[in-house]
Amino acid sequence: MQFEYDPVPNKAVFGKNSALKLKDEVKVLGASRVLIACTKSMVARIGHVIDGLGDMCVGIYDGAEPHCPEHVAMAALDLFKKHNADCVVAVGGGSTIGIGKAITLRTDKPLIVVATTPCGSESTPIYGLLIGNHKKTGRDRKVIASTTIYDPVLTTTMSAHHTGTIGMNSLAHCVEALYAQTTSPISDLFAEEGILNLTNGLRDSIKDPTDLTAREQVLYGGMLSGYCVTLAGIAIHHKLCHVLGGHHGIPHGESNSVVLPYAVAYNETAAPQAMEKIKRAMRSTSASGGIFDFASEINVPKSLKELGMKMEDLDIAAKETVQTTPYNPKPVDIKSVREMLQQAYEGIRPVPF
């Protein structure tokens, strides 16, 4: 057995009402002037968290948008500098965390995330901005949050739709980690544990949004999914979802919900050991079929057509995906990716390639 293990360099504070510990965590990092980044709708939900910071909170940027457009991140950076802040606290999911990453990448100031979704982005070295209609991504370990606070109480207002689609994004992180480029026994453990907690937690969270035990499972699975990306990397699935978001405007959670079973089917014959682990964690006789059935069970979008994708754009998406996918267990070519996209467009049960 040979592998390398480089631990994720961040602190996790997990549990009910753990967001109330934010002020203490800012102090631990030696900071005293906090800029909060969030969406407009989030401000009211976290009033008690902001109040807990007292004079430490020097400003709030509430303009987060999906896919983190460049102008949004730069406006937040300008506000950060204007207030002479020394710590950015991103409260929310991937779009808001993207703002925090853009700031810490350019200032070297610490990033704290208060995670209100299970996206896992807080623990990954991957950052991205929507520039024009292209999602430009990079990789730098310094954008990993110094501290992440996981408070399930803050997730109970998530709709069933957002719970399901963002959860599918995290599920995809775990699934892809099992056949990504730098897999290891450690990342495999995180991946299987993440799949198990996400599937169980998502089912129960959607049935009862106030079920804090289920919400804890989802957040825990999301946390592990971020570790999976950092340790193992990504493959065609997430590259395709970046293409669908950047070039075709499809929200990231929704694209993950649709594409994942087809990306797994694409790789099914090329990564048989990974597929056995997926089947075990999903408790299914088929890796791609199990994911397809689970997505149907939690009622997330089923097809690219349903998401507004146009048939004539499938060729463009296939070409761009091939151009931007550096690694995948099965080699990517335009014809095969186009066939996969056709299945995803129609929303049919995935057929292994």
Number of structural domains in the chain:
2
Cα(252)–Cα(103) distance, integer angstroms? 22
CATH number at residue 267: 1.20.1090.10
> Which pLDDT belongs to residue 271?
97
Q: Which helix (H) or strand (E) holds 273?
A: helix 272-282
β-strands 147-150, 134-139 pairing = unpaired
> Which pLDDT belongs to residue 327?
95
Phi and psi angles of residue 279, each rounded to the nearest 5 degrees, phi first: -60, -40
Choosing from 139, 155, 171, the residue where a domain stops is: 155
CATH number at residue 65: 3.40.50.1970
Choosing from 101, 120, 155, the residue where a domain stops is: 155
> Which pLDDT belongs to residue 2?
81
> Which pLDDT belongs to residue 3?
83
What is the mean pLDDT of the segment spanning 166-187?
A: 96
Q: Looking at the structure, do residues 151 and 165 belong to the same domain, yes or no?
A: no
Cα(33)–Cα(36) distance, integer angstroms? 10
pLDDT grade for 244, boundaries at 50, 70 and 90: very high
pLDDT grade for 134, boundaries at 50, 70 and 90: confident
Q: What percent of the chain has pLDDT over 90?
A: 90
Q: Looking at the structure, do residues 209 and 334 belong to the same domain, yes or no?
A: yes
Structural domain span for residue 309: 160-346
What is the mean pLDDT of the segment spanning 79-94?
A: 97
pLDDT grade for 246, boundaries at 50, 70 and 90: confident
> Which pLDDT belongs to residue 63?
96
Q: Looking at the structure, do residues 202 and 111 belong to the same domain, yes or no?
A: no
Q: Looking at the structure, do residues 38 and 109 belong to the same domain, yes or no?
A: yes
Residue showing tokens 């370990």: 141
Q: Which helix (H) or strand (E) holds 34?
A: strand 34-37
Cα(214)–Cα(220) distance, integer angstroms? 10
- Using a 10 angstrom Cβ sphere, with 0-12 exposed, 13-18 middle and 19 or more buried, the burial of residue 285 is exposed
Choosing from 129, 155, 181, the residue where a domain stops is: 155
Residue 300 lies in a domain: yes
Residue 338 lies in a domain: yes
Residue 133 lies in a domain: yes
Cα(147)–Cα(113) distance, integer angstroms? 6
Q: Looking at the structure, do residues 40 and 111 belong to the same domain, yes or no?
A: yes
> Which pLDDT belongs to residue 11?
95
Residue 275 lies in a domain: yes
Q: Looking at the structure, do residues 103 and 210 belong to the same domain, yes or no?
A: no
Q: Looking at the structure, do residues 140 and 236 belong to the same domain, yes or no?
A: no
Residue 33 lies in a domain: yes
Residue 265 lies in a domain: yes
Q: Looking at the structure, do residues 164 and 151 belong to the same domain, yes or no?
A: no
Residue showing tokens 């909060």: 36
Residue 5 lies in a domain: no
Tell me: pLDDT of 349 over 80: yes
b/e burial code for range 213-249 (CB count within 10 A of at least 16 → b) = ebbbbbbbbbbbbbbbbbbbbbbbbbbbbbbbbbbbe
135-167 pLDDT, tens digit each: 788 989 999 999 999 999 999 999 999 999 999
Tokens of 293: 């059935």
**Average per-residue pLDDT in the chain?**
95
> Which pLDDT belongs to residue 132?
86
Cα(181)–Cα(152) distance, integer angstroms? 32
Q: Looking at the structure, do residues 149 and 164 belong to the same domain, yes or no?
A: no
Residue 312 lies in a domain: yes
**Under DSSP, is residue 127 helix (H, G, I), strand (E, B) or coil?**
strand
270-327 pLDDT, tens digit each: 999 999 999 999 999 999 999 999 999 999 999 999 999 999 999 999 999 999 999 9
How far the first Cα of the chain sits from its last, in Å, is: 30
Q: Looking at the structure, do residues 67 and 195 belong to the same domain, yes or no?
A: no
Q: Looking at the structure, do residues 167 and 220 belong to the same domain, yes or no?
A: yes
Tell me: pLDDT of 51 over 80: yes
pTM of the entire structure?
A: 0.92
Q: Looking at the structure, do residues 142 and 215 belong to the same domain, yes or no?
A: no
> Which pLDDT belongs to residue 208?
96
